[in-house]
Amino acid sequence: MVIRTLTPPALPVAPAEPPLKVSFKAHMLAVREDAIVQAVNRLLAEKGFDLMTVDQVAAEVGIAKASLYKHFPSKEDLAAAAMVRVVGRAQAFLAGLPANARPLDQLKAMVRWMMQLQLAGEMPSLPHHNSSLRTTLVNNKAYVDGLMQVSEQLGGWIEQAQQDGSLNSSLPALLVLYTLYARACDPVLEFLKASGLHSDQELVELVVRTCFEGLNARPT
C-alpha cells in the first residue's frame, strides 16, 4: 500500500536495553528516564496533553521540575518520548504474534491490543490540533520510524486479507489502516464503559465486531 516503499520488513524489533557494557551511572540514568516517560504516558492517558502539566509529571516522578528539563528539552519532547514508548510496545506486541496466523486475525489482535491499552489507561491521547506538538513528533526519528514500521506490517496484512477474501477489497487500504488506528482513541470505549453495562472484555469484543462486521445485519 501507499505507506510501504520497500519490501515487507522482517520486523526486527530494536532492543529496549542498550548493549552489554553500560556504566552504573548510565544505567541509573536510563532507569530514571524510563520512570519519567512512564509517568508522562500515564498522565497523557488520564488528562491529555493540554491538561497535563510538567509540574504534575515532576510530582509523579518525585523529582524537581528543573531536573526534568535536564532530561527532556520541552513538554512536547516529553510527550514524544511517551509516544516512542507506546510505538515500541506495539512493535514488541506485533513481534510476539504467531507468524502463521491469518492476516485478518493479526489485524484483529492488534486492534484488541490497542483498545485494551486504552481501557487500561495507558494509551496517551494527543490533541489533533496542536501544531508545535506535531512538529516535534514528525522530527522525532524514533517515533516516525517506529510508526512507519508498524504501518508497513499492518499494511501488508491488510493487502493479504483483501486478497484472501477476508477483508473487503473494494475499500482503499489506507482507509482500512486509519480505521484500525482510530480504535486506539475511540470515544465509544469510554462512553460505553461509563454506562457500566459491560465488562472491559465484552466492550472490546463488541467494538471489534462493529469495526469488522459493521452495524448492519448480516445477510443469512
Partner DNA sequence: GTCTATAAAGAGATAGAC
Partner DNA sequence: GTCTATCTCTTTATAGAC
First to last CA, the chain: 33
Which one, of 137, 13, 26, 119, lies nearest residue 75 by Cα? 137
- Where does this chain touch its own copies (CB under 8 A) — which range of 74-82, 112-120, 121-129, 144-152? 121-129
Binding positions for DNA, 126-165, rule CB under 7 A = none
Q: Residue 52, interface with DNA (CB under 7 A)?
A: yes
Which one, of 71, 153, 74, lies nearest residue 107 by Cα? 153
Binding positions for its own copies, 129-158, rule CB under 8 A = 129-130
Q: Residue 51, interface with its own copies (CB under 8 A)?
A: yes
In the set 64, 92, 101, 171, which binds DNA (CB under 7 A)? Answer: 64
Q: Which three cell numbers stand for residue 191?
A: 462512553
Residue 202, judged by CB atoms within 10 A of its CB (0-12, 13-18, 19+), counts as: exposed
Q: Residue 75, interface with DNA (CB under 7 A)?
A: yes
Q: Residue 210, interface with DNA (CB under 7 A)?
A: no
What, of DNA, its own copies, none, does residue 96 touch, CB below 5 to 8 Å by kind? none
The DSSP line for 2-49 is TT--SSPP--PPPPSS--S---HHHHHHHHHHHHHHHHHHHHHHHH-T
Distance CA 37, CA 31 (A): 10
- Where does this chain touch DNA (CB under 7 A) — which range of 14-22, 46-54, 115-123, 158-166? 46-54
- Where does this chain touch its own copies (CB under 8 A) — which range of 27-35, 53-61, 135-143, 204-212? 204-212
Query: In 3-state terms, what secondary structure has residue 162?
Result: helix
Q: Residue 59, interface with DNA (CB under 7 A)?
A: no
Q: Residue 197, interface with its own copies (CB under 8 A)?
A: yes
Q: Residue 119, interface with its own copies (CB under 8 A)?
A: no
Q: Residue 206, interface with its own copies (CB under 8 A)?
A: yes
- Residues binding its own copies: what is the number (CB under 8 A)? 48
* Contact yes or no for 184/115 (Cβ under 8 A): yes
Beta carbons within 8 Å of 1's beta carbon, 6+ residues apart: 155, 158, 159, 173, 174, 177
**Residue ranges in contact with DNA by CB under 7 A:** 25, 29, 32, 52-55, 62-67, 69-71, 73-76
Task: Please report, as ranges, the residues that interact with its own copies according to CB under 8 A.
Answer: 2, 46-48, 50-51, 104, 125, 127-130, 165-169, 171-172, 174-176, 178-179, 182, 185-188, 190-192, 195, 197-198, 206-207, 209-219
